[in-house]
């Protein structure tokens, strides 16, 4: 398998095609946060919305366009973290970021367990230009959670 084929593993293509959490919904939640992110390098764009109840993500939806990597990443994120508590979300975000900066080297079992199918993105870490594509939805999630959290305090 060539590096390029490895980057576009079937599982990534599947997630890009069957978009989990795609289509923005209005959450029935205690607090709501939304974030819009653009990756100008590639033209990827995403709007991600979360609903939080206490420390749990009770709603996670997004809308976006761009390359397969960015769409698959958002799709995977939604499947992994819709319903997760904020601590798990934070750990998963950190693990995914670490995966993107591992230059193609797999992470340890503990973090791979958190990431489940998202470990398929390991090959993307070898292509610095594509790392942003994979991370854009995760940046949107972090920002949306921060906005929702500020909302509850205000
Ligand atoms: Zn892209």
Residues 92-125 pLDDT 10s: 999 999 999 998 888 999 999 999 999 989 889 8
Residue 53 forms part of a structural domain: yes
Q: Mind listing the pLDDT tens digit for each residue in 43-91?
A: 999 999 999 999 999 999 999 999 999 999 999 999 999 999 999 999 9
The CATH number for 48's domain is: 3.90.1010.10
Give the Å distances, CA to CA, from 148 to 43, 59, 93, 125, 141.
26, 12, 17, 30, 10
The closest of 148, 154, 150 to 31, measured between CA atoms, is 148
Give the Å distances, CA to CA, from 112 to 30, 133, 147.
31, 20, 28
Label residue 150 exposed, middle or buried (CB < 10 Å: 0-12, 13-18, 19+).
exposed
Residue 63 forms part of a structural domain: yes
Per-residue pLDDT, 5: 61
Range of the domain at 122: 3-149
Per-residue pLDDT, 154: 44
Residue 46 forms part of a structural domain: yes
> Cα separation of 122 and 101, whole Å?
9
Joined together, the tokens standing for residue 30 give: 């205690």
Q: How many domains does the chain have?
A: 1
Q: How much distance in Å is there from the Cα of 12 to the middle of ligand 1?
A: 13
Residue 154 forms part of a structural domain: no
Joined together, the tokens standing for residue 125 give: 């870490």
Q: How much distance in Å is there from the Cα of 65 to the middle of ligand 1?
A: 9
Beta-carbon neighbour count of residue 75 at 10 Å? 24
Residue 87 forms part of a structural domain: yes
Residue 99 forms part of a structural domain: yes
Q: How much distance in Å is there from the Cα of 42 to the middle of ligand 1?
A: 5
Residue 101 forms part of a structural domain: yes
Q: How much distance in Å is there from the Cα of 146 to the middle of ligand 1?
A: 24
Residue 17 forms part of a structural domain: yes
């Amino acid at each position: 398998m060539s590096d390029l084929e490895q980057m576009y593993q079937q599982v990534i293509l599947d997630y890009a095609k069957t978009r989990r959490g795609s289509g923005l919904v209005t959450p029935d939640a205690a607090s709501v946060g939304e974030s819009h992110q653009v990756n100008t390098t590639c033209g990827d764009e995403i709007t991600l919305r979360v609903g939080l109840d206490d420390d749990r993500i009770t709603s996670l939806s997004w809308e976006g366009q761009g390359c397969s990597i960015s769409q698959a990443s958002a799709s995977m994120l939604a499947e992994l973290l819709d319903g997760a508590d904020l601590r798990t979300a934070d750990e998963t975000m950190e693990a995914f970021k670490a995966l993107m900066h591992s230059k193609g080297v797999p992470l340890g079992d503990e973090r791979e367990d958190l990431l489940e199918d998202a470990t398929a993105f390991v090959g993307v870490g070898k292509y610095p230009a594509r790392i942003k594509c994979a991370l854009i939805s995760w940046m949107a999630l972090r920002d949306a959670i921060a906005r929702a959290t500020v909302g509850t305090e205000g």
